[in-house]
Amino acid sequence: MISIFIRKIRAFLHPIRFYVEQYIERPIIMRWLQIRYPLKILDSLSTLDLIAKEKLSVARFGDGEFSIIWGGNIGFQSFDKELQQRLKEVLILNQEGLLICIPYTLAKLKDIKPKAAKVWRTLCVLEKLQKRLAKMGLLTHLFGDALFTRPYIDWTAKHPTSLIFHSIINLWNKRAILVVEGAGSRLGVGNDLFVNATSIRRIICPSKNAFSVYSLIHQSVLEFHQNGELVLIALGPTATILAADLATSSIQAIDIGHIDIEYEWFKNGALYKQDIPGKAVNECASNEVAFNCDDKEYLEQIILKIESRI
């Protein structure tokens, strides 16, 4: 009888405990982490201004990259010790011509929707991200915002989404671009994302575990890259490493991440994350894509396909 009573009390208190944890405890701990370990992170517009002004390469670290650094997996990239080590090395790089980006949300949760804010609070509180970065000696580093490539779906109307997209698209204004992307990403296909580029060429890579063929991807970009061509990479954690390595060869390369999907959602006025026909959207439940694409212009842009070894 007593055990039944105790179970009922626990069941009654559970939602109260959940509310206190999510909306009182974690916001307080998150704010304490931000104050105790003040990371220097530019906001999205300032990040884009700096990239444009100094023609910087960009290596971005999001929750997926941090997960691998701490020993975890993500949906499209299994844990790999070499990848883990390379990510750690790139994160602390202080290299001319390269901007390392981490989420602005580690410093401030401004203009972000409650659901997304909850995700970042949970990640930071449970993983102690700010404290870990401080232990790596990164409080003196100036970072860009890794979330400049995700300016729409997680943000309120106060966020300067239109201005951010405008600044992003201006990065390749009147420039030739070489897109290095996973199969099914199809950046710019079916929209006007690259309408102002002078030319588009593509290297198609594995959509999963791309790091398993990293050496081949890296060498292929070095071989096919043309003088003055801007390299745009959408390849998960592999893109972070590739952008940094190309920067050492004086090739401007930007880890552009989910920009195409965010742009599609923005153009469609989407209210939540949803599938985009004909494109891979790893954050949606189905994550299905018709990998056969008959878009003639897209097919003509492909100069190389690299297959997975896994």
Confirm whether 207 is domain-assigned.
Answer: yes
Helices (H), the chain: 2-20, 26-36, 44-54, 63-69, 81-91, 114-127, 129-135, 161-170, 214-224, 237-248, 259-268, 296-301
Residue 193 lies in a domain: yes
Contact 233, 180 (CB under 8 A): yes
| pLDDT digit string (tens) for the chain, length 310 residues | 555 644 655 565 556 666 566 667 788 888 888 999 999 999 999 999 999 999 999 999 999 999 999 998 887 888 889 999 999 999 999 999 999 999 999 999 989 999 999 999 988 888 889 999 999 999 999 999 999 999 999 999 999 999 999 999 999 999 999 999 999 899 999 999 999 999 999 999 998 999 999 999 999 999 999 999 999 999 999 999 999 999 999 999 999 999 999 999 999 999 999 988 888 887 765 555 556 788 899 999 999 999 877 6
Domain count, the chain: 1
Q: Look up tokens 């010790």; give the residue.
A: 81
Evaluate whether 127 touches 80 at the Cβ level (below 8 Å).
no
3-class DSSP assignment, residue 101: strand
* pTM, 2 dp: 0.91
Residue 70, domain member (yes or no): yes
Would you say residue 2 lies in a domain? no
Q: Length of the chain, please?
A: 310
| Backbone region of residue 190 per phi and psi (left: phi > 0; alpha: psi in -120 to 50; beta: other values) | left
β-strand 57-60 against 40-41: which pairing, if any? unpaired
In a domain, 287, yes or no: yes
Q: Which residue segment(s) compose the domain that 164 sits in?
A: 38-305
